Amino acid sequence: MARPVVLVTRKLPPAVEARATRDYDARLNPDDRIYTADALLAAAAGADAMLICTSEKITADLVSRLPASIKAISTFSVGYEHIDVAACRARGIVVANTPGAMTEATANIAMLLMLGAARRGYEAQQMVRRGEWTGWTSTMLLGVDFSGKRLGIFGMGRIGQAVAQRARGFGLTIHYHNRRRLPAGEEQGAVFHASLDSLLAVSDILSINAPSSPETRHILNTAAIARLPDGAIVVNTARGDMIEDATLIAALTTGKLRAAGLDVFAGEPNLNPAYLALPNTYLLPHLGSATIETRDRMGFMALDNIDAVLAGRPAPYPL
Ligand code: DGY
């Protein structure tokens, strides 16, 4: 009997591809080329399901042109701003993601960014690697302590809470703004702010951990940055489009903000080049979930979704 066809749109970790090819007639992408919409539609012809990444923009137009055979679209990500979920639902296509898979890995990267920004990690690396380190001095590359400072977390979901857990160990006091206040038992002393403005005013360090949506696009704009304490640090592991780049760059240039640690950028991988010229940025290439264990877990969860839908069961991680 013919096996179901699953289109895997990007090259995935070997263990994930091995499982996909074991269980399905898997259409892999060994060259990891990014499909245009037309190429994606051609590759999806006759497929039963698609395992996609954030690089595939599943717009309403694309959904309207998908083959009728597609029953499920499972994304190898927690973020799903690249998918028009309503359009998929309207066509009876189940959409699912991989929530929770990257919580720990992403929270760890948020701490790396915080430390890299607060302790001048980029300048320090440059000095050592360029052979410009001429010896210890008492005033060389001074950063700032965490202890006694306030960390403002915008978006207190799984990742925000994991950041809070780690940051407490560094002596930071936790403040947060979220659509809903956490139950008292889960706040663990974190101070809830009913508005983002109120959170910004107390954020010596601001960590962005909210999902990208039309409401959060450019939420860190001129007015928001003006509310941050002078010398604040901004860290983003969520999505680049939540920051107004020109405004953040200006604030890092004038010294209104001390530093920024960024793992995500608008228009990735073509980030605003002005970030590269700033010594007080600590930049990573979207590494939040980039550990062997996490990427395997994401792939397995994405396949779990497809397995369930193609077997006539509800997806375990539906959107
Ligand atoms: C996610 O899961 O949304 C990540 O950003 C993709 O690595």
In a domain, residue 47? The reply is yes
Residue 1's pLDDT is 78
Shared domain check, 117 and 44: no
CB atoms within 10 A of CB 148: 9
In a domain, residue 317? The reply is no
> In a mutational test of the pocket of ligand 1, which residue from 289, 296, 319 has the highest number of ligand atoms less than 8 Å from its CB?
289
Give distance in angstroms: CA of 290 to centre of ligand 1: 9
Residue 96's domain is classified under what CATH number?
A: 3.40.50.720
Is the CB of residue 236 below 6 angstroms from any atom belonging to ligand 1? no
In a domain, residue 318? The reply is no
List residues with catalytic annotation: 239, 268, 286
Predicted confidence (pLDDT) per residue in 147-177, tens digit = 999 999 999 999 999 999 999 999 999 999 9
Tokens of 190: 């974190």
The Cα diameter of the chain in Å comes to 73
Give distance in angstroms: CA of 16 to centre of ligand 1: 16
Is the CB of residue 288 below 6 angstroms from any atom belonging to ligand 1? yes
The domain containing residue 92 runs over which residues? 5-101+292-310
Q: Structurally, how many domains does the chain consist of? A: 2
Ordered per-residue pLDDT tens for the chain, 319 residues: 799 999 999 999 999 999 999 999 999 999 999 999 999 999 999 999 999 999 999 999 999 999 999 999 999 999 999 999 999 999 999 999 999 999 999 999 999 999 999 999 999 999 999 999 999 999 999 999 999 999 999 999 999 999 999 999 999 999 999 999 999 999 999 999 999 999 999 999 999 999 999 999 999 999 999 999 999 999 999 999 999 999 999 999 999 999 999 999 999 999 999 999 999 999 999 999 999 999 999 999 999 999 999 999 999 999 9
Beta strand pairing status for 173-177 and 191-192? parallel
Shared domain check, 202 and 81: no
Shared domain check, 112 and 60: no
> In a mutational test of the pocket of ligand 1, which residue from 52, 78, 209, 295 has the highest number of ligand atoms less than 8 Å from its CB?
78
DSSP assignment of 190-219: PEE-SSHHHHHHT-SEEEE-SPP-TTTTT-
Tokens of 216: 């959060």
DSSP assignment of 288-318: TT-SHHHHHHHHHHHHHHHHHHHTTS--SSB
Predicted confidence (pLDDT) per residue in 109-138, tens digit = 999 999 999 999 999 999 999 999 999 999
3-state class (DSSP) for residue 177:
strand
Shared domain check, 92 and 54: yes
In a domain, residue 114? The reply is yes
Is the CB of residue 209 below 6 angstroms from any atom belonging to ligand 1? no
In a domain, residue 243? The reply is yes
Shared domain check, 149 and 74: no
Shared domain check, 16 and 68: yes
